[in-house]
């Protein structure tokens, strides 16, 4: 399972999650503060209502009553915060005015003039204030108890509204901060995105160093380490190529000597048994010579070999016609009709004529070698919009679609063909094509028989 988290997402997660946690903690703290603030404000409002009632208490002779105008009663009952309940009694509980059903204060007596308490009234939680007010200050006639209460749901709703007005701007601020960080990280990662696109566009043959100038300072150690790795890979490939080339070059002389001595021995000996053995040795020597030559061609065509460096203008029509002409005798020897077809008077590209001729030789070697006697092989050079295509088509046994990519691998040979080979021909073709910026592909020939090899040069002049 691959990790789908990008660096940007990880940074946003590491920034956003703590901010959300802090926002939630801030919400709880602010809710507690909002409740305290609202309770204090509403408690003061209750006290003001109790004081207003106290200021309207009258005494005529020994009779005490609350002289609240009708307008004042309506205001108490229709406040924005909710309906107020009040009760005025003497200290001994004698009813004077209000709602006698209001719950009494807690039993603990005290001398505080003002006390607040919570209780239940009509199955609803309410908050009450009790105000102890003398009947007539200095008269010694005792005190009156003024109780005023209101539902606490109004307070909770006010606290929630206050919290909402605090938390919503904070949430918007967090979202804006996360978006700014997301955008800033994206801008900061633009050099890495450019580097990623450059790496994705590179071929496996390009081991040149990666640029360091446009990347952030924190990423440069990684780029330097990658460049060091690319340098080591390049040196390792060059060392392997030199070894293959040197080994193949060193083998050419002794193998050629064995072949010469075998041919001489065949002419001198008269024994049939000896001649049969020498013929087998001669065949094996020819195969070894072909393998050595193919290894040398592959070493020259591989990236880093330095062969395809000094390019020149090459006429593909002329090159293909000349190479096809050279293969006519060998095709006739196998009773194969070899032809060249091109509607173009010329098609010039930038390339190495030696390597391009080597590529065509390998294509013709495969086509002529794998075609049955009496078969046909056709070399064509055509032009498409913005590209030139060289193709070699035969009507031989063909290559199954499932194996058309594998036959480009080194030393891979299809079983059951009955043709001697080393499995390097198409590998050399692809290496030379890639070195020229071209593409090599396989398809079926005409009427779905045989093989059609296309080499497409996109940068045609």
pLDDT at 249: 60
End-to-end CA distance of the chain: 47
How far is it, in rounded angstroms, from Cα 340 to Cα 392? 9
CATH architecture of 220-301: Orthogonal Bundle (1.10)
- Region of 406 (left: φ > 0; alpha: ψ -120 to 50; beta: rest) is alpha
Which residues of 212-353 form beta strands (DSSP E)? Answer: 312-315, 337-341, 348-351
Q: Which residue do the tokens 């010039």 mark?
A: 348
Closest to 103 (Cα-Cα) out of 84, 117, 83, 82: 117
In the chain, where the domains are located: 7-160, 220-301, 312-457
pLDDT at 291: 66
**CATH class, range 7-160:** alpha beta
Helices vs. strands in the chain: H and E counts, helices first: 9, 14
pLDDT along the chain (461 residues), means of 10: 62 83 88 86 86 80 71 57 76 81 75 82 86 70 82 82 86 87 79 77 72 75 84 75 62 71 75 76 70 65 56 86 90 89 84 86 86 88 86 85 80 63 76 84 83 81 49
Residue 391 and residue 380 in contact, taking contact as beta carbons nearer than 8 Å: yes
Q: Is 234 helix (H, G, I), strand (E, B) or coil?
A: helix
pLDDT at 415: 61
How far is it, in rounded angstroms, from Cα 223 to Cα 449? 50
How far is it, in rounded angstroms, from Cα 316 to Cα 433? 13
Closest to 85 (Cα-Cα) out of 97, 70, 69: 97
CATH of 312-457, one of 3.90.1170.50, 3.30.1130.10, 3.30.565.10, 2.102.10.10: 3.30.565.10
Q: What is the pTM of this model?
A: 0.48
């Amino acid at each position: 399972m691959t990790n789908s988290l990008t660096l940007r997402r990880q940074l946003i997660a590491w920034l956003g999650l703590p901010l959300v946690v802090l926002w939630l903690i801030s919400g709880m703290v602010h809710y507690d503060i909002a409740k305290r603030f609202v309770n204090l404000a509403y408690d003061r409002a209750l006290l003001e209502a109790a004081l207003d009632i106290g200021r309207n208490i009258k005494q005529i002779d020994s009779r005490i009553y609350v002289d609240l105008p009708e307008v004042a009663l309506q205001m108490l009952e229709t406040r924005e915060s909710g309906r107020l309940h009040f009760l005025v009694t003497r200290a001994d509980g004698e009813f004077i005015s209000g709602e006698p059903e209001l719950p009494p204060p807690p039993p603990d007596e005290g001398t505080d003039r003002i006390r607040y308490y919570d209780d239940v009234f009509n199955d609803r939680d309410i908050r009450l204030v009790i105000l102890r007010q003398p009947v007539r200050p200095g008269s010694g006639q005792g005190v009156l108890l003024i109780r005023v209460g209101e539902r606490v749901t109004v307070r909770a709703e006010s606290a929630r509204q206050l919290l909402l007005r605090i938390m919503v701007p904070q949430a918007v601020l967090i979202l804006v901060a996360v978006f700014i960080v997301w955008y800033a990280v994206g801008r900061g990662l633009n050099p890495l995105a450019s580097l990623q696109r450059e790496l994705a566009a590179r071929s496996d043959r390009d081991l040149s160093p990666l640029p360091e100038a446009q990347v952030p300072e924190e990423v440069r150690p990684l780029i330097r380490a990658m460049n060091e790795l690319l340098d080591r890979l390049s040196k390792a490939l060059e060392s392997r190529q030199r070894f293959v080339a040197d080994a193949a070059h060193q083998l050419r002389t002794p193998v050629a000597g064995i072949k010469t001595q075998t041919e001489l021995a065949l002419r001198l000996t008269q024994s049939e048994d000896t001649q049969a053995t020498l013929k087998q040795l001669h065949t094996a020597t020819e195969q070894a010579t072909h393998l050595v030559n193919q290894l040398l061609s592959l070493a020259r065509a591989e990236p880093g070999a330095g062969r395809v460096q000094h390019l020149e203008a090459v006429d593909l029509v002329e090159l293909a016609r000349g190479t096809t002409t050279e293969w006519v005798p060998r095709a006739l020897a196998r009773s194969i009709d070899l032809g060249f077809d091109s509607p173009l008077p010329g098609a010039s590209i930038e390339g190495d004529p030696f390597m391009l001729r080597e590529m065509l030789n390998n294509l013709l070697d495969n086509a002529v070698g794998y075609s049955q006697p009496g078969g046909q092989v056709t070399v064509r050079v055509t032009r498409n919009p913005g590209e030139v295509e060289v193709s070699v088509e035969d009507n031989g046994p063909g290559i199954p679609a499932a194996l058309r990519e594998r036959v480009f691998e080194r030393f891979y040979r299809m079983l059951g063909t009955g043709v001697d080979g080393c499995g390097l021909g198409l590998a050399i073709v692809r290496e030379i094509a890639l070195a020229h910026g071209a593409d090599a592909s396989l398809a079926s020939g005409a009427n779905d028989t045989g093989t059609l090899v296309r080499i497409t040069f996109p940068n045609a002049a």
